[in-house]
A = this chain, B = another copy of it.
Amino acid sequence: MIRQLTIFGVGLIGGSLALALKKAGYCQHIIGCSRREDHLQRAVDLGVIDEYTLDPKAAVKTADMILLAVPMGAMEAIFKRIAGHLKEGAVITDAGSAKGSVVRAAQAAFGEVPPQFVPAHPIAGREKSSVEAALVDLYVGHKVILTPLETTNPQAIQKVRKMWHVAGAEVETLGVAQHDAVLAATSHLPHILAFSFVNSLSESPEHQAIFHYVAGGFKDFSRIASSDPVMWRDICLENKAGILVALDHYQKNLSELSILIANEDSEALLAAFAHAKTVRDRVID
């Protein structure tokens, strides 16, 4: 049971958690905080949060659990605003898509990464990101990855784990670097490839005919290129190292495939495609 939860950034991610915890009766009071009073008022009107404040210090002074569900570029500023104003025993967590940069932001703001800060990443989302899109069951059956450090307080980890579990998520643990490498490959890389795919077609001299005949894979393949550009710009900056490794790996694989096509290497092409199909079918099963 959480007495007071404070959520920075009451959008899809923070709002959906609030709805799930309220429904489960697991949280007595939820305070929202951001710089957009109209958004916060809307969250109150929708019954997602109980009250709001624009003042980060006031938002955290009696909070038992603090969730930062803001764009990753905004994390450090919030850490700085709340440092020194936390209640004894308060737990801090976040919902950023990259963990190394959040840990570095906490270190910069607090001098060292606070033991009560549990970096976390709920792997769930929708194409819309506003509080209106919040769903009480957004996290049901989805994974939340915690990336605690060696210095993180085990009780704080347990409280964050329990909170996400109550919201319906499967909670797992990875190291910070491993999380960032894995998410770079499975989530960040395909978004970048999809953005690049659409841009590459749009630059073709045949772009009018190309977009007239979109089919055969375009729609599904490019869906994630309709994602929020600001969010993905931030992810590229915040998980630069992990993404560059995954991109480099991908570019090499694609170059090799390109050479197989140029050489009309029928057997090797068939082997490559069959391997991909086997892996993909097994993973989706």
Chain B hits for A232, CB < 8 A: 273
The complex places the Cα of A10 from the Cα of B124 at a distance, in Å, of: 43
Give the interface residue-count category, chain A.
35 or more
Which residues of chain A (138-186) have a CB below 8 Å from chain B?
Answer: 142-143, 145, 174, 178, 181-183, 185-186
The complex places the Cα of A228 from the Cα of B276 at a distance, in Å, of: 10
Would A194 and B217 count as touching, CB distance under 8 A? Answer: yes
The chain B residue sitting closest to A195, CB to CB, is B276
Would you give the 0/1 interface string for A241-263, flagging 1 where the beta carbon is closer than 8 Å to chain B?
Answer: 00110111111111101101110
The chain B residue sitting closest to A199, CB to CB, is B276
Would A186 and B213 count as touching, CB distance under 8 A? Answer: yes
The chain B residue sitting closest to A219, CB to CB, is B284
Chain B hits for A35, CB < 8 A: none
Query: In this assembly, does A237 line the interface, its C-beta being within 8 Å of a C-beta of chain B?
Result: yes
Contact of A221 among B181, B190, B248 (CB under 8 A): B190
What is the minimal beta-carbon distance from A178 to any residue of chain B, in angstroms? 6
Would B253 and A203 count as touching, CB distance under 8 A? Answer: yes
Query: In this assembly, does A222 line the interface, its C-beta being within 8 Å of a C-beta of chain B?
Result: yes
The stretch from A16-24, A128-136, A204-212 touching chain B is A204-212
Contact of A193 among B197, B202, B223, B261 (CB under 8 A): B197
Would B247 and A261 count as touching, CB distance under 8 A? Answer: yes
Contact of A257 among B196, B202, B220 (CB under 8 A): B196
Q: A226-B280, A237-B266 are contacts. A216–B187 as well, Cβ < 8 Å?
A: yes
Would A204 and B221 count as touching, CB distance under 8 A? Answer: no
Chain B hits for A189, CB < 8 A: 197
Q: A221-B224, A257-B192, A276-B194 are contacts. A185–B199 as well, Cβ < 8 Å?
A: no
Chain B hits for A275, CB < 8 A: 199, 202
Would B200 and A186 count as touching, CB distance under 8 A? Answer: no
Would B194 and A209 count as touching, CB distance under 8 A? Answer: no
The complex places the Cα of A92 from the Cα of B251 at a distance, in Å, of: 42
9 contacts between A and B (CB under 8 A): A185-B210, A186-B215, A197-B250, A202-B275, A221-B223, A225-B280, A240-B264, A247-B254, A247-B258
A sample of 9 more A-B contacts (CB under 8 A), given A185-B204, A222-B280, A233-B266, is A186-B201, A186-B210, A194-B221, A196-B272, A202-B279, A226-B277, A226-B284, A237-B269, A248-B258
